[in-house]
Amino acid sequence: MTDISRLQTLRYALHTNATTFTGTPGVLSPLQITDEASSFLPRQRTPIDRSLRSLSGRRFPHLRGAQDVGDLTVACEFKGVNSNTGGAVSDWEAKTEQGYLLASLFGALAPATTSTAPTIAAAGHTPASGVVAVVGTNTANGQVVAFATSAGLQIGRIESGGGTTSLTLQHPYAGTPTTSATVFRLGVYSVSDSTTSHVHAFFAAEGEDWRRDYFGCAPMSMNIGIPNTGALTMSSVFSPSTWSDVAESNPAYADPTAGNPIVNDGAYFRLDGVEYLLRNASITYNCATAIRETASKTNGRLGGVCGTGDGKNFMIEGELYISDSATLGEIQDNAGTPSLVNLLGSDVAAGQISTAREVALQVGTEIGGGLYALLPTADFRATVQTSGAFPVVRFQAMGTGPSPAILAVG
């Protein structure tokens, strides 16, 4: 029967280590793709034209060259963590669909958590200062935690107090913590400029009558789409070293192990600890990967090296409203910290270094379907534009400093 344009199965895994670019890993995890996944279709050997001459002026057949190793694009929903109780998790990647993709992109697995989850204490909280009192000491600085409050689920990174009963988060949070509620720890992925050798990915793509396996796929970039309301999407790009035509395995359908698709129904966006109304947001991450070109290997390449050139770039983009009042969480022209003139730089002289900003974004209202991104020090660039019926501050916040950014999933 005639094939239809439908990818039957896409499975993936990480290679054994950062110096392995061949071989099929033993356990493959399924991906649920949201598009046609056309980049995974069977490929050609690239044609090499032959500039031969003849008296008749005729053309000559081309040569078969190296394999087409153009980039692979993986489009899927961005899902939360399966069965996150707040307790010990030894392998975060096995509990969410995109976990191993994130591990390759960021260059490390999410750190394991141990022992039981803390709970919220009855008193001792100072939300405006980011202080939350807990029962239990199974936390650490740098962990990201989520807990229930009168304003709904709140997520934040522990800046200090980890391992004690009084945690200070990186920024304020909303509401009063719910006594005895579980303090959930999240899977955390950190941008590390010093990590340049990332473990590459393997993909097995299968249609109705074909299968292609892609080996040594270097992590290139990622985009997380955040609608004003609706489900988050993730599109990531990997560059293969080689591919192979292999026999179909016809695996039975299997859902990915994952939490719920993360849905935006009221995000928290904080700039220097202050909440603002955010719209038309996205997260982009570029690994700054350069392919390792070599005449000694098939297709003239062997994986890639990350953090090259200007280095990795993790960025949050979006728009903020402008107002004469801060009541609704809008930027004011000459008032507030920061004000519009602070963000535009029109209040300082040429040659001044831009003030670094702290940027935090939480999306999701329940455990098993939450995302948190933090830029402790961000290069914040802003312009005023017209967007629909409103003038808005269109911004790009790029992570800088020794710890440029983290992305947490819960």
In Å, how far are 72, 231, 281, 318 from 227, measured between CA atoms?
24, 7, 7, 11
Instruction: With respect to residue 98, please indicate whether it lies within any of the assigned structural domains.
Output: no
Take residue 368 and report the two structure tokens written for it: 């098993």
Which token pair is 333?
Answer: 């022209």
- Tokens 């958590």 correspond to 113
302: buried, middle or exposed (CB in 10 Å: 19+, 13-18, 0-12)? buried
Residue 149 domain-assigned (yes or no): yes
Beta carbons of 288 and 308 less than 8 angstroms apart: yes
Q: DSSP state, 93?
A: G
**Distances in Å between the alpha carbon of 330 and those of 275, 326, 375, 388, 397?**
9, 5, 20, 17, 17
In a domain, residue 344? The reply is no
Mean pLDDT of the chain, nearest integer:
96
Say if residue 182's pLDDT is above 90. Answer: yes
360-410 tens-digit pLDDT: 999 999 999 999 999 999 999 999 999 999 999 999 999 999 999 999 999
**Pairwise CA distance, residues 250 & 9, whole Å:** 8
Give the SS3 label for residue 406: strand
- Asked whether the beta carbons of 116 and 136 are under 8 A apart, the reply is yes
Question: How deeply is 296 buried, as exposed, middle or buried, from its count of CB atoms within 10 A (0-12, 13-18, 19+)?
Answer: exposed
- With 90 as the cut, is the pLDDT of residue 97 above it? yes
High-pLDDT (> 90) share of the chain, %: 94
Note whether residue 26 is domain-resident.
Answer: no
Residue 160, in any domain of the structure: yes
Name the band, by pLDDT with cuts 50, 70 and 90, for residue 222: very high
Q: Is residue 28 part of a domain?
A: no
- Number of domains into which the chain is organized: 1
Residue 58 predicted with pLDDT over 90: no
Residues 6+ apart with CB under 8 A from 88: 112, 113, 114, 115, 116
Query: Token pair for residue 143?
Result: 């962990």
Please say if the pLDDT value at position 83 is more than 70: yes
Q: 115 near 88, Cβ under 8 Å?
A: yes
List alpha helices for 93-227, DSSP H.
99-106
Q: Classify residue 282: in a domain, yes or no.
A: no
The answer to the question of residue 249 being in a domain is no
Answer whether residue 4 shows pLDDT above 90. no
Check residue 161 and give left, alpha or beta (phi > 0: left; psi -120 to 50: alpha): left
Q: How confident is the model at residue 5 (pLDDT cuts 50, 70, 90)?
A: low
> What is the domain range of residue 133?
119-182
